[in-house]
Amino acid sequence: MKSRSTIALLALVVSIGGACSSEDGTAGPPPGNGYDAGIEGGKDGPGNDSPIVVTDGSGQDAAGCPSQVLCGTQGTCCPVGTECVFGTCVAACASGVRCATACCNAGDVCVSGQCKTPTTDCIDSVDCTQSEFCDPLAKKCVEQVPGGPVCEIPHPVAALAPVLKWSWTKPDILPDYDQTISAPLIVDATGDGIPDVFVTTGSKGLTNLDNPGYMRLLDGATGKEKWAANVDALQPGNQVQVTASPAVADLDGDGKVEVITLAAARDVIAFHADGALAWRSTRPDTSPYTFSVGFTWGSAVSVADMDGDGKGEVVLAGVIFGSDGVMISGDGKETTGGSTALGSHIGTSSIIADVDGDGKQELVGGNGAYRLDGTAVWEDASSPEGFPAIADFDKDGNPELVVAAASSILVLDAKTGAELATLATPGSVPGPPVIADFDGDGTPEIGLQFYSPCEVSVFEYDAAAKALSVKWTTPMIACSGYLTPTAFDFNGDGEVEVLAHDDCHVNVMKGTTGEIQLKIAASHNTWTEFVSVADVDGDKEADLLFSANDAWNGGLLDWANYCKYTAPDTWSHGVFVYHQPREWMPTRRVWNQQSYHITNIKADGTLPKPESASWGPSGYNNYRVSAQGKGAPLAPNLILSLSVSLSACPGQVRLLAQVQNAGSIGVAPGVEVAFFEGKSPNGKPLGTAKTTKVLFPGASEIVELKTPAPAGTGSYYAIVDPAPPPSGTIAECKEDDNEASVDGVTCTKLY
């Protein structure tokens, strides 16, 4: 009925059974009808392209059929101990989990013809092992069989043309503080299953870097504010440094996240998800721990469970704090992992990683790596300080450290600090690096965004030759601060796009060439913020999020001339979320910090213990990149079988549509089936019915519609997910097998 690309079907079949019609016409479970459809099903589903008359045993036609099951094109009576599976009598499977010719145990799943047992609970594939993916409805990890057929949706390589999902520009509380500064951070903070968004906001009268502001929490689905006016986070005594980049994670292991940032008073401050004050940083003697006056230019907080004890540590520059805000080590180390290239303004973005392979993570800057107790794994004062990122470029299992220094880029051995390569950069004053496989060749590249001139460059590192080279450079309009690029593969073509926020636009560039594919007006006096990519509302599609402000220097900046805006582009302030429905790839529901890497955070905001190496077998070998994760392209496939019960004759017939999910992930309740009299596609509409339960892969449910019996012989057909083409309401890997029909229906078959 509907046309869309077809991919090999059915990597996974989960036992939920099915549903047969009971005497009163309601849905009830059959003996079990798990079905591995393979890739052979035709237009109407296997065995459903000729008349099928199935009764429930109440009519006279069942008198000579002890099993009370009539099956197939001729209404064959199935022997006792068998069941009807899409027109064929087969041996009964008590579990309802059919896997090719096998009957799996109850609770098992069918993965590419093999019975498997689901393992641990999950929200996304980061919760699973390297060989598993997470079924989003079952919330269970399921083993993938290498090389097995799968039901996937090939996302079209379409032009980037997103539309606004929501924006937040007028605060209900503290309305003068409408200048959104920090990049949006995304996590389900309230435990309602919908992600939330943390940002910082400054006042309309922003005049310098020390202007205080407030932390905000927004609903990811609507953009509405979630904190009441009386929460601690919105009180004057708890104002934050608006240019700092916060981090979000469950620090204390209670299952609820905290948001941590630099306070206006230059100490570190943490709030609970409900807006209550969690702590302010102190020294071990309980005196306040504060950073210097110059420590103001967009420094970024990083979080991780460094020692695997179930509680997170907080890192800012070279200082480590415990989950309670008490300083652990690094007293006074304010330039670690950062730059002083812009004079007295210090910006830092140190990261956390296990560089020496001892199972515990270290604080990593540009020229040193430090254990939790502050002792050095390595330190080289002769090497330039800068913004770090980490990946495995030569694929030997040992990571390399990328350092963006004031006017050069370096690659170091992350374990020893030994210099492997260095290159003078085309621009100066870069921000923190992004590492991703931008050209799809299996080896990551490095992306940097520069202050002067305002441009983005991507670099190749040849591990064999120990040499860096510029792959491409793309100019932008205007830059200020230490700018941070990020990345995501929006259309799933294997080529990751580069995202860069200059003072005027959000730019999305082709990873292979640097060609700007999308520009969204987004005025911003940039510091170290970035463009976030996450599934902000749980719809299983990526969203692009950014902050904007337009009142810098007291609102005196001439944005129109500075940014060369032409209508309809203009300056703005607030939080903006864009999406491209049914075309952008799925991604995770979390982006928790500037030094985001996939293995650092679970979707519920908890910290892994221990954290897997982002460059290792369970990682993705990238940094500051949103990625789909294993199983992200998997899709359902709805197939339909139509039968007729004559138990209501002579006045009515009962149309029984068996909806089965022959795909690789589950489908929520409420799938619609439309019934018609006649032959497709010009039949008379008779009505609709909807499924009432989750249809996991392999599961089915019968929905019913009673209709007046035909005067003579009747024909009927049904369509599952009948919304208009190309893909109905539910995106499936195969859209041309959603229809079934039955002919030769007459109540005279009873007599």
Among the residue ranges 23-27, 299-303, 404-408, 585-589, the one predicted with the least confidence is 23-27
Report the pLDDT value the prediction gives residue 740, as an integer from 0 to 100: 85
Are 133 and 212 members of one domain?
Answer: no
Tell me the pLDDT tens digit for each residue of 534-550.
999 998 899 999 999 99
pLDDT tops 60 at residue 498: yes
Are 440 and 536 members of one domain?
Answer: yes
User: Does a structural domain hold residue 404?
Assistant: yes
User: Does a structural domain hold residue 616?
Assistant: no
Are 658 and 713 members of one domain?
Answer: yes
User: Does a structural domain hold residue 410?
Assistant: yes
> Of 548, 574, 600, which marks where a domain is finished?
600
Report the pLDDT value the prediction gives residue 253, as an integer from 0 to 100: 95
The amino acid present at 141, given as its one-letter code, is C
Q: Could you tell me the pLDDT band of residue 735, with boundaries at 50, 70 and 90?
A: confident
User: Does a structural domain hold residue 662?
Assistant: yes
pLDDT tops 60 at residue 612: yes
Which whole number is the average pLDDT over 657-686? 89
- Domain extent for 683: 12-151+636-750
Instruction: List the CATH number of the domain containing 86.
Output: 2.60.40.10
Cα 488 from Cα 496, distance rounded (Å): 5
Which whole number is the average pLDDT over 411-440? 95
Report the pLDDT value the prediction gives residue 593, as an integer from 0 to 100: 98
pLDDT tops 60 at residue 607: yes
Question: Both tokens of residue 428?
Answer: 């100066």
Tell me the pLDDT tens digit for each residue of 29-73.
332 333 333 222 233 333 333 333 333 434 334 444 565 555 555
User: Does a structural domain hold residue 532?
Assistant: yes
> Of 575, 600, 625, which marks where a domain is finished?
600
Are 585 and 699 members of one domain?
Answer: no
Which whole number is the average pLDDT over 480-490? 91
Report the pLDDT value the prediction gives residue 28, as an integer from 0 to 100: 31
Are 501 and 562 members of one domain?
Answer: yes
User: Does a structural domain hold residue 465?
Assistant: yes
The amino acid present at 594, given as its one-letter code, is Q
Q: Could you tell me the pLDDT band of residue 654, with boundaries at 50, 70 and 90?
A: confident
Are 331 and 435 members of one domain?
Answer: yes
Which whole number is the average pLDDT over 181-202? 95
Q: Could you tell me the pLDDT band of residue 7, with boundaries at 50, 70 and 90?
A: very low
Peptide bond between residue 444 and the one before it cis (omega within 30 degrees of 0): no
Separation in Å, CA 612 to CA 22, 40, 369, 616, 698: 51, 40, 18, 7, 33
Cβ contacts of 444 within 8 Å, gap of 6 or more: 391, 393, 435, 436, 437, 438, 621, 622
Report the pLDDT value the prediction gives residue 90, as an integer from 0 to 100: 79
Residues of the chain with pLDDT > 70: what percent? 84
Are 490 and 370 members of one domain?
Answer: yes
Report the pLDDT value the prediction gives residue 22, as an integer from 0 to 100: 30
Cα 192 from Cα 190, distance rounded (Å): 6
Report the pLDDT value the prediction gives residue 62, as an integer from 0 to 100: 42
Kind and range of the H or E run holding 552: helix 552-555
> Of 600, 619, 644, which marks where a domain is finished?
600
Cα 173 from Cα 285, distance rounded (Å): 37
Report the pLDDT value the prediction gives residue 390, as an integer from 0 to 100: 98
Cα 150 from Cα 167, distance rounded (Å): 37
pLDDT tops 60 at residue 376: yes
pLDDT tops 80 at residue 275: yes
Among the residue ranges 76-85, 127-136, 183-192, the one predicted with the least confidence is 76-85
Its pTM stands at 0.84
| Helix, strand or coil, per DSSP, at residue 452 | strand
Which whole number is the average pLDDT over 295-309? 89
Are 286 and 434 members of one domain?
Answer: yes
Are 708 and 559 members of one domain?
Answer: no
Separation in Å, CA 68 to CA 22, 75, 742: 12, 11, 20
pLDDT tops 90 at residue 401: yes
Residues of the chain with pLDDT > 90: what percent? 55
Report the pLDDT value the prediction gives residue 13, as an integer from 0 to 100: 30
Report the pLDDT value the prediction gives residue 23, as an integer from 0 to 100: 30
User: Does a structural domain hold residue 630?
Assistant: no
Which whole number is the average pLDDT over 269-294? 95
Question: How many domains is the chain built from?
Answer: 2
Which whole number is the average pLDDT over 444-471? 96
pLDDT tops 70 at residue 345: no
Are 145 and 187 members of one domain?
Answer: no
Question: Both tokens of residue 106?
Answer: 């109850």
Instruction: List the CATH number of the domain containing 169.
Output: 2.130.10.10
Which residue did the predictor score with more confidence, 729 or 174? 174
Which whole number is the average pLDDT over 327-332? 96
User: Does a structural domain hold residue 94?
Assistant: yes
Are 128 and 167 members of one domain?
Answer: no
Are 677 and 738 members of one domain?
Answer: yes
Calculate the average pLDDT of the chain. Answer: 84
400-404/408-413 β-pairing:
antiparallel
Tell me the pLDDT tens digit for each residue of 243-265.
899 999 999 999 999 999 999 99
Among the residue ranges 74-83, 404-413, 658-667, the one predicted with the least confidence is 74-83
